[in-house]
Structure 1
Amino acid sequence: MSRSTTRFDTKKVNSELVTLTYGALVAQIIKDLENTDDVSKQLERLGYNMGIRLIEDFLAKTGTGRCLDLKDTADKIQTAFRMYLGVQPNVANWSAAGDEFSFVLDSNPLTDLVELPEDLKGLKYCNIICGVIRGALEMVQLDVQSWIVQDQLKRGSKH
């Protein structure tokens, strides 16, 4: 027997696995619920439940302490995006009061290979991310709201 010399880029394989698995999950929820608003709500709820569990893993792996302010919170969320999705979001659009900001994703592994049909244009496909952020921060006593302002799948439209 000889050893195969084929090498896989594990980051690309993991990213594609996440993309395909998430796509299959969304397709099943669409089949079960049919209404895009209900599907979007279900994705946010699913993300919320994931977030309340992921925060423990994040804190254990990073050893970070309490956030000092919202900027520190944004930095730690950036770290979590790198750890769990392999992407680096940019922090932008800070409000004048410093109590609101945006994450801008140049690439999103959840939307690779995805194209929404016309009848699903109202779907908030990546709403799971909003739920994860809300759930994780709630577990560290931060009550936040999270929503998608602009979605690559909607070709620049705002929702």
Structure 2
Amino acid sequence: MTSLDQIAPAFVGMAHSIVWASAATVDANGRPRSRILHPIWEWDGTDLFGWIATVPSPVKRAHLAVHPEMSVSYWTSTHDTCSAECLVEWYTDDETCTAVWNKFAKGPEPVGYDPKIIPMWSGGPTSDEFAALRLSPYRLRVMPGAVMTKGEGAPLVWTSS
């Protein structure tokens, strides 16, 4: 099994190069719903967390209220893939929302962007239309495309204990 300090930098590097992720939540009846989201990840050498700037829609709120978990999967045409299965926490307080807004506004290319480009966020990070999700992974998988297309190497997998 791969350790977090071995996989986290590879995961962040691949996720940030791909940028957009397919994310899935599950409703109270066990039905999944997928959407495309744009997480930003932070690795400090010990802990890995993801942040998603999002609209606190009734569907997302309902799903995460009963199943506070999300699967996040990245893919690119070279068949590089990485995924994170995570516990999720909502944040709607002004301090956290402003901090997350700034993570994206000051983030490195290509994952950083100006959140003001989203029309419904014209009120800024303290508006009712803006919220932050914190992702705490309990399983990570990183697989460079050459593993699948050329049989070179093996996927990296980490699961928390």
TM-score, length-scaled by structure 2: 0.28
Larger Rg: 1 or 2? 1
TM-score, length-scaled by structure 1: 0.29
